[in-house]
Every structure is written in C-alpha cells, then in structure tokens.
Amino acid sequence: MIAAYRKLLSLLSPREKSRLGWVFLIILGRALLEVVGIASVFPFLSVVGNPDLIYQNRLLKWLFTTLGFLSINRFLVFLGFLVLVVLICTNLFSAFSEWVLYRFSWMCNYSLSRRLFSAYLARPYVFFLTQNSATVQRNVLIEVRHVVDGMIIPGINVLVGIAVIICISAFLLGVNPLLGLAVLAIIGLAYGSIFLFVRQRLRRLGQVRAEADLQRFKISGETFSTIKFLKLTGRINYFLDQFAKASHKFSNVMAKHMLMGRIPRYALDIVAFGGLLLVVLYLLVTHQALGQVLPVIGLLGFASYRLLPAFQQIFSGLSQIRFSQASVDIIYSDLQAPSQPLSSFEIIKPFSAKEKIELRNVSFTYPGSNRPVVSKVSLVIPVGASVALVGKTGSGKTTIADIILGLLRPNEGGLYVDNQKLTDELLPFWQRSLGYVPQDVYLLDDTIAANIAFGIPKDKIDMEAVIEAAKIANIHDFVANLPEGYNTRVGERGMRLSGGERQRAGIAR
C-alpha cells in the first residue's frame, strides 16, 4: 500500500502536492472543529440547567464579570448567541472544506486524465498495434477516476481519522487509562482483524473490476461499430450476452466492494452496545454506587459515539484504497512509458524529397513476432514516379508503406531521403510533407469542411484551400449541390456518405 502511494505521489505535480497538504490540513481542521462545535453545546445546556455554575466555573465567572453583566438571564442569552456563532462558524468551515475537497479531487481527475491522454498520444505507432483502444479509453476515463476517488480522497480520510482517534484517545486515557485502553484495544482489534480478513479479497475484487470495465468498453465499442452487419446477420444476441456478462460481473463486484467497506459498522455497533450493557450489568451486580457507575457509562457512551465513526472512516478508507490499488499500477506504468515528442501541425516546416526516396537494406519484425516481415529490402523511388507495390497477400506491402511513412521504424537498414538518413529527429518534418489516403478513411462526425481540414480548429479553416482541395479530389460538385454545402454533417464515421465520397473526402485531406 505504501508503494502504491509512493507511485501516486510521484504522479502529482509539485503544485498538486502542496495543494494536497492544504486540503489535508483543512479537512483535519474541520474534523477537530466539529468535535468542538458539538462539545460547546453541552456546557451551555448545563449552565442553563444549573446557573450556579457561572460562579463555580472560573472561565464563566471571568466572562460574566469582565463583560459587566448584571442579570444572569442576559448572560445566558449572550452565551446562547456565542454557541450559535460557534456553530455557524464550524458549519461554514465544513461547507468550505467540502468545496475545497471536491474541487481538488476533480482537478486531479482533470489533470491526470489529460496527462494520461497526452502520454498515449505520444506513444509510438507500434504501441497501438499491440493495445486495444478499449484499454486506452478505460484507463483515461475510468481508472483515473478510481485513483482519485479510491486513493487520494480515502487517503486523506484515513489520515484525518487517525488524527481524530489520537485526540479522543488522549482524552480517554487521561480520564480513565484502564478503561480507555480496554476500549481502544477492543475496537482496534475488531477493525484490524476484519480488515486483515478482507484485504486480499478487496484487492482481487479491484482487479476483477478493472477487467470487467475493459470488457464493457470493448464490447460496446465493437457492437456499435459493426451494427450494420449485426442487424443483417441477426447475431445481435451474442454481443448482447457478452455485454450482459461483463456488466453483471462489474455490478456484482461493486456491490461486494461496497458491502465489505460498510459491514463492520454493524458488527461493531453490536459489539459496542453489548460491551456497554455487560459493563453496566457487571457494575450493577457487584453493587457499585451509582455515583461511580455513571461516569464510566458516560465515558463509554462518548467513546462509542466519537470513536466508532473515526475507526469506521479509517476502515472504509483503507478498503477503498485496497480496491483501487490496481488502477494506480495501471496508470503509473503508462505515464512512465517512453514517448515521442508530440509534433504540432503548425510549428513544423515540412522536409520533402527533391530527388529520391530510398530504402537501404531494410528489415522489419513486428513486436512480439519472431519472423521478419520485411527482410533486407532495398528500393529507390525517384521524385515524380508513380510506384505500385505488388505482391501476394501478407507479403509486406502495407508494412513497407508504413516504413516509408515513418510509422514503423526498421530494425536494420534505413530510410533515406536525398541521401540523408531519416533519424527520429527528422521524422516529424518528413511526415509533415506526406499525403496519405488509407483504404478505409475515417471520417469525423462533423461537417464536410471540418473533415477535409482534418484537425484544424473551426475558426482557422481556410475555406478557399478546402474548396481547392475538394476540386482536385473531384468532390466539389457533389458538395456544392448539397443544401448545406460544406456545412453538411456526414454522420458517425461518415455514414451518410457513399464509400467513394468518403474516399474522395479523404483524398482532399
């Protein structure tokens, strides 16, 4: 658990870490103030019940005389207002601390998911050949949330709970050491042993949850991408079953996790009440004087009233942390992984061929495979030539194209442009000079203009350039005849266009 927190802390920026410190202090302040707020009501009530206390208690007497009160009733009204002000202040502070906590946790959620998203975008192309996109989506959307809600917030709660317990214990031990020790030992042992019993289970449940979430993402994505085929072939049930299975597993695990975090509360309430009852019975049976019995009962009552919730807070915090630990491992390793610098569309000057593009002795093996797909291939493409790669299916044509695009890096040999070897540094400049039309063009659910000017913000689109490109790709006439022209929306994956129109939009890009 400590190792998980070390990882988690290394993921936070220095600013977030110092914020975390503040949040902890504020939450701790709230917990202690709440004790004070509740505590301040009782002295007031006892003064109302017994006004003579004003003369017996030194503080009250001092207040009464210094402020120059003449009647006891007025003083009581004053004390009442004082208590009210304390209550208002503690409640305002509680509301403020809540705001601080929510803001902090959602801002962590924002910054972690943004960083993870950009870390994935910075991974080399081969990474995406081995990863299912559902994993990436789940990590960015779900796992980050589990890290924040299941580790950061419960971590704060556990520390605050410990601080509250220390305060109450000091009080208890001061008043009645033997009884205090007994109470602490019983509650502590009970919670401790329940936690030892469930901790492994919680961790396993956490892993099952992550796996089930992955399945849910994967199946829902796949189902709606192949909906046309599914409708046609009537194989919808298979996908529905798969989704139902994963969802059921997920819900089952979540219910168990929630239950495990709360169940000891009920057990401990019984233990506490039973213990109280036993002590009272014992004291009565041994015929102790009521004057001696009452303070003991009062102390026990106070202990179970304040101490049990604090223990419960720690327990449920720890159980959430165990459950969410898997998420930290996932996010940590993916944020640490090697990345390529993200190249921006605007800042880069293209680097294009003037004479020739050349592959020299290139070999390539896909990661995880032991057979080279391309082996010692050399070829020269002069500028201005039209070249077709012809070969059997699976012989490596697309692989060679991807090597020329710089998406795949050769294991041996190299790609040369005008006799200059393309290094990792040159690659973004090279790629900026390339045009590429894949066989299956992916269109965004946006307008035709936005699809041609792919990835350029709406207000920066140069409409003349878009129309020029559309004319070259032979799609301008079609677009010009649409009622909304270039502002026509194409639907998800360009579903409202024909296959050829989709490809032409891809060429215009």
Ligand X SMILES: Nc1ncnc2c1ncn2[C@@H]1O[C@H](COP(=O)(O)OP(=O)(O)OP(=O)(O)O)[C@@H](O)[C@H]1O
Interface residues with Mg ion (CB under 5 A) are 398
Residue 31 or 359 having the CB closest to ligand X: 359
Q: Which of 46, 237, 395, 487 is close enough to bind ligand X by CB under 6 A?
A: 395
Q: Which of 396, 428, 494, 506 is close enough to bind ligand X by CB under 6 A?
A: 396
- Picked from ligand X, Mg ion, none, the partner binding residue 296 (CB below 5 to 8 A depending on kind) is none
SS3 state at 424? coil
Site for ligand X contains 411 (CB under 6 A)? no
Residue 91 or 398 having the CB closest to Mg ion: 398
Calpha distance 116→122 (Å, rounded): 10
Calpha distance 422→424 (Å, rounded): 7
Contact 286, 250 (CB under 8 A): no
Whole-angstrom CA distances from 385 to 33, 391, 462, 472, 509 are 79, 19, 30, 19, 21
Binding mask 372-391 for ligand X (x = CB under 6 A): -x-----------------x
Residue 68 or 394 having the CB closest to Mg ion: 394
Site for ligand X contains 399 (CB under 6 A)? yes
Site for ligand X contains 129 (CB under 6 A)? yes
Residue 234 or 368 having the CB closest to ligand X: 368
Q: How far is the CB of 388 from ligand X (least distance, A)?
A: 12
Contact 447, 486 (CB under 8 A): yes
- Binding to ligand X, residues 214-253 (CB under 6 A): none
| Pairing state between β 412-417 and 356-364 | antiparallel
- Picked from Mg ion, ligand X, none, the partner binding residue 396 (CB below 5 to 8 A depending on kind) is ligand X
- Picked from ligand X, Mg ion, none, the partner binding residue 284 (CB below 5 to 8 A depending on kind) is none
Residue 316 or 399 having the CB closest to ligand X: 399
Site for ligand X contains 420 (CB under 6 A)? no
Give the tokens for residue 3: 């190792």
Closest CA to 136 of 267, 309, 331, 291: 331
Closest CA to 307 of 269, 357, 341, 363: 269
- Picked from Mg ion, ligand X, none, the partner binding residue 429 (CB below 5 to 8 A depending on kind) is none
- Picked from Mg ion, ligand X, none, the partner binding residue 433 (CB below 5 to 8 A depending on kind) is none
Which residue stretch of 61-69, 84-92, 333-341, 397-405 sits at the interface with ligand X (rule: CB under 6 A)? 397-405
For tokens 């509680």, name the residue: 94
Calpha distance 445→488 (Å, rounded): 10
Contact 190, 271 (CB under 8 A): yes
Got the DSSP string for 366-425?
-TT-SS-SEEEEEEEEETT--------TTSSHHHHHHHHTTSS--SEEEEEETTEE--TT
End-to-end C-alpha distance for the chain, whole angstroms: 50
SS3 state at 291? helix
Q: How far is the CB of 433 from ligand X (least distance, A)?
A: 23
- Picked from ligand X, Mg ion, none, the partner binding residue 481 (CB below 5 to 8 A depending on kind) is none
Q: How far is the CB of 367 from ligand X (least distance, A)?
A: 7
Site for ligand X contains 439 (CB under 6 A)? no
- Binding to ligand X, residues 60-99 (CB under 6 A): none
Give the tokens for residue 321: 């942390």
Q: What is the DSSP letter of 420?
A: E
Calpha distance 202→198 (Å, rounded): 6
Residue 39 or 389 having the CB closest to Mg ion: 389
Residue 304 or 399 having the CB closest to ligand X: 399
Q: Which of 5, 93, 127, 366 is close enough to bind ligand X by CB under 6 A?
A: 366
Contact 147, 112 (CB under 8 A): yes
Residue 207 or 398 having the CB closest to Mg ion: 398
Give the tokens for residue 224: 């709606």
Phi, psi of 356 (to 5 degrees): -160, 155
Q: How far is the CB of 135 from ligand X (least distance, A)?
A: 16
Site for ligand X contains 397 (CB under 6 A)? yes
Residue 403 or 417 having the CB closest to ligand X: 403
Calpha distance 208→230 (Å, rounded): 29
Closest CA to 86 of 125, 129, 133, 34: 34
Q: What is the DSSP letter of 152?
A: I
Q: How far is the CB of 411 from ligand X (least distance, A)?
A: 13
Contact 307, 173 (CB under 8 A): no
Q: How far is the CB of 397 from Mg ion (least distance, A)?
A: 5
Closest CA to 40 of 80, 6, 76: 80
- Picked from Mg ion, ligand X, none, the partner binding residue 344 (CB below 5 to 8 A depending on kind) is none
Q: How far is the CB of 428 from ligand X (least distance, A)?
A: 22
- Picked from Mg ion, ligand X, none, the partner binding residue 373 (CB below 5 to 8 A depending on kind) is ligand X
Kindly determine how many residues on this chain lie close enough to bind ligand X according to the rule CB under 6 A: 12
Q: How far is the CB of 400 from Mg ion (least distance, A)?
A: 9
Binding mask 323-362 for ligand X (x = CB under 6 A): ----------------------------------------
Give the tokens for residue 19: 């914020």
Q: How far is the CB of 254 from ligand X (least distance, A)?
A: 35
Q: How far is the CB of 506 from Mg ion (least distance, A)?
A: 16
Residues 6+ apart with CB under 8 A from 177: none
Residues that bind ligand X (CB under 6 A): 129, 366, 369, 373, 391, 393-399
